Structure 1
Amino acid sequence: MSEPASAQVSADPAALATDRLGSVVHTPVMRDRITALLGPALTTPGAIYVDATLGMAGHASAILAANPDARLIGIDHDADALAIAEETLKPFAGRVRLVRARFDELAAVLDDLGVAQIDSLLADLGLSSLQIDQRDRGFAYATDAPLDMRMDTRNPRTAAHVLNTAAPGELVRILRRFGEEPHAERIVRAIVAERVREPFSDSARLVEVISSALPAAVRHGGGHPAKRTFQALRIEVNGELDALAGLLPDALDRLAMNGRIAVLAYHSLEDRLVKQTFAQATSDSAPARLPVVPEPLLARFAALTRGAEKPTADEVAENPRAASARLRAVQRIRPGKIPNREENR
């Protein structure tokens, strides 16, 4: 299931964290706001903060610095990111436990560590700066690279494998569901014709095929023509929405009284799932017009954000990758699991 991060540490994590000019490539999105939201749950000695998408530990290091009594359980399935995080978190030695796992393995990770409840959790979804900027990972459509797109290199299924082996109907489904691509059928027809001639292996050829399949008005109508397809392939390869659907209920169930959860989403599919889950958690489960709501049917959580919060204009100017971020957070206000609405109707 999971393994200690130290088993996968890179030989030179510092090199992975910087670009060719030696500049750090990671800027934590909405760092100060997230630190402020989660901080009130981390004031007691030994309070447990889980970073379910640790990345290069930008958020985690800020939260540990602001909350000296808190301990961190950092989870990530990217070995390179964990190697960098281990270096970043050295000032907090003794307060940190890193685990290589997918975030939907949260319950098993906590059980392995003997942790029954947690006090706060952050999930910063989507790609990290490290994954975008390391060309050989194949996530970016703007540069030519192998069509990999795996967040966890232990996963045997790459984007190239999906493109070259999936049935046409399955490819259309992937592009429509995960990329919300209105021209999915046109793109898939072009992909299938090309893969017969030669299997796909690099991103530049895929971008060319996608562009040629789209109407001229779409190709030149703003936004990269391959963006939706690359998003869809990445989500499919990594099972991102299924993983998120697995994480959210486990995270809510494990949260202690007054504990807090914050989630950063970067596209509508992620944010919609977070919104729906948090809406159910913060709503009573009693039938409509019931004069008094029985305690077992009262909401277990309260919203900490009004809808989805967005980064400030100044932050977007400093870090353009933050532009699409949407932050939602909730706090536990009653013990117990979220009641099943269907059972109470």
Structure 2
Amino acid sequence: MEFHHVPVMLRECMENLNIDPSGVYADGTLGGAGHSSEICRRLNQDGMLIGIDRDRDALQAAEGRLQEFSCQKIFVQSNYSDIKDILKDRNLPPLNGALLDLGVSSFQLDEPERGFSYMHDAPLDMRMNQQDNFSAWDVVNTYSEKELKQVISKYGEERWAARIAQFIVRARAEHPVESTGELVDIIKRAIPAASRREGPHPAKRTFQAIRIEVNDELGQLKRAVDAFCDVLAPGGRLAIITFHSLEDRIVKQAFQKRANPDQGILAGLPPELAGDAVKQADIRRITKKPITPSDEELEQNPRSRSAKLRVIEKL
């Protein structure tokens, strides 16, 4: 099984992580180890990579791919949002750097049976961790029409969410929706022809929404940004690549909050009363605006087109 992932903004990530050869680095979304290979290339025998992924296949493939490097390596099947427990359980030190690449790996998209892609007919799955019980089948076949509409509207930013939800409920009343192909057909019937002719594939937003719901991607991300900031050593850096506006907003706001703690509630309090309650900034933003892929990269890897990279440093 070839588990390959074209690493997005690889040069920009490496430059901004500012890697110390003997430091400890975590890749919270190990995938095909594209970014991790470059991190390991820069580490010496004292340096360490902690590779985290929910997907067991990804971990096994990455382990093989990273064998050639001399640094210490630890592989963990877990959610990246559990970084505090991962370090604590293994008695590991604070991190000198960490990377999160939030895109679905090319492998997951290109393996039809995983059910991530609207381009192949496959069982409705979309689980990043195949040991999880909850899948896209459950969302499509058990959520109420109102819940479906909310998921597709909120996570897919799909203007036809209400119609799509209505059509799904109508179709499954006859028999359960079992495959991605069936779901694509339902979505195409729900979206008026004029709207289908413009913009991306008509199923793209709905598939994104269901995938986010199945894997609790935004909930994980909210928990993870603060957790990773907490476990960085002073001077340590966190680089996060997002692929749509919902993710980018979460990262941007979390970074802003820690770089400029809100002291509004303390407005007007004399200093002696404010005391320790004034929260100090504990990070600084390395990137005020997100870094985006170069024209050259966009040409070579069209999947990178919506990527944004934001980086902070622990004070």
Query: Please, what TM-score do these two structures have when normalized by structure 1?
Result: 0.85
User: Which residue is 1:317 aligned to?
Assistant: 299
Measured against aligned partners, the alpha-carbon deviations of 1:86-144 in whole angstroms (never above 9, x if no partner) come to 01110125510001001111111111110241111101113011111111001011111
Give yes or no for the alignment of 1:104 onto 2:86.
no
User: Which residue is 1:20 aligned to?
Assistant: none
Give yes or no for the alignment of 1:229 onto 2:206.
yes
Separation (CA, whole Å) in 1 of partners of 2:168 and 2:93: 48
Give 5+ residue unaligned stretches, structure 1. Answer: 1-14, 18-24, 334-345
1:158 CA displacement: 1.2
Separation (CA, whole Å) in 2 of partners of 1:83 and 1:226: 31
User: Which residue is 2:16 aligned to?
Assistant: 37
Measured against aligned partners, the alpha-carbon deviations of 1:207-246 in whole angstroms (never above 9, x if no partner) come to 1110111112211112111111000100010111111111
User: Which residue is 1:331 aligned to?
Assistant: 313
1:289 CA displacement: 9.2
User: Which residue is 1:170 aligned to?
Assistant: 147
1:286 CA displacement: 3.5
Separation (CA, whole Å) in 1 of partners of 2:280 and 2:124: 48
User: Which residue is 1:58 aligned to?
Assistant: 34
Separation (CA, whole Å) in 1 of partners of 2:113 and 2:176: 18
Distance 1:124 1:289, change over 3 A: farther
Measured against aligned partners, the alpha-carbon deviations of 1:277-306 in whole angstroms (never above 9, x if no partner) come to 001111144346999998953321111112
Give yes or no for the alignment of 1:198 onto 2:175.
yes
Find the partner of 1:125 among 102, 105, 110.
102
8 Å Cα contact 1:285-1:299 kept in structure 2: no
SS of residue paired to 1:90:
coil
Separation (CA, whole Å) in 2 of partners of 1:319 and 1:260: 26
Find the partner of 2:134 among 151, 157, 168.
157
Separation (CA, whole Å) in 1 of partners of 2:88 and 2:214: 27
Separation (CA, whole Å) in 1 of partners of 2:121 and 2:275: 59
8 Å Cα contact 2:292-2:307 kept in structure 1: yes
8 Å Cα contact 1:48-1:70 kept in structure 2: yes
1:257 CA displacement: 0.5
Structure 1 ranges of 4+ moved more than 4 A = 287-296
Measured against aligned partners, the alpha-carbon deviations of 1:47-100 in whole angstroms (never above 9, x if no partner) come to 110101111111011012123352101100101111110011101255100010
SS of residue paired to 2:96:
strand
SS of residue paired to 1:189:
helix
Separation (CA, whole Å) in 2 of partners of 1:316 and 1:54: 22
SS of residue paired to 2:133:
coil
Distance 1:31 1:141, change over 3 A: same
User: Which residue is 1:135 aligned to?
Assistant: 112
Distance 1:290 1:323, change over 3 A: farther
Separation (CA, whole Å) in 1 of partners of 2:114 and 2:259: 38
8 Å Cα contact 2:40-2:71 kept in structure 1: no
Distance 1:294 1:58, change over 3 A: farther
Find the partner of 2:240 among 257, 263, 284.
263
The count of corresponding residues between Structure 1 and Structure 2 is 309
Separation (CA, whole Å) in 2 of partners of 1:180 and 1:63: 35
Structure 1 segment 222-301 matched on structure 2, within 5 A: 222-287=199-264, 297-301=279-283
SS of residue paired to 2:129:
coil
SS of residue paired to 1:306:
coil
Name the amino acid aligned to 1:16. Answer: E
Separation (CA, whole Å) in 1 of partners of 2:176 and 2:243: 31
Give yes or no for the alignment of 1:28 onto 2:14.
no
SS of residue paired to 1:92:
coil
Query: Please, what TM-score do these two structures have when normalized by structure 2?
Result: 0.93
Separation (CA, whole Å) in 2 of partners of 1:94 and 1:66: 9
1:177 CA displacement: 1.2
Find the partner of 1:48 among 13, 16, 24.
24
Separation (CA, whole Å) in 1 of partners of 2:36 and 2:270: 44
Name the amino acid aligned to 2:9. Answer: M
Separation (CA, whole Å) in 2 of partners of 1:216 and 1:257: 55
Give 5+ residue unaligned stretches, structure 2. Answer: none
SS of residue paired to 2:205:
helix
Distance 1:29 1:290, change over 3 A: farther
1:145 CA displacement: 1.3
Separation (CA, whole Å) in 2 of partners of 1:294 and 1:318: 54
What's the RMSD between the two structures over aligned residues?
A: 1.9
8 Å Cα contact 2:52-2:77 kept in structure 1: yes
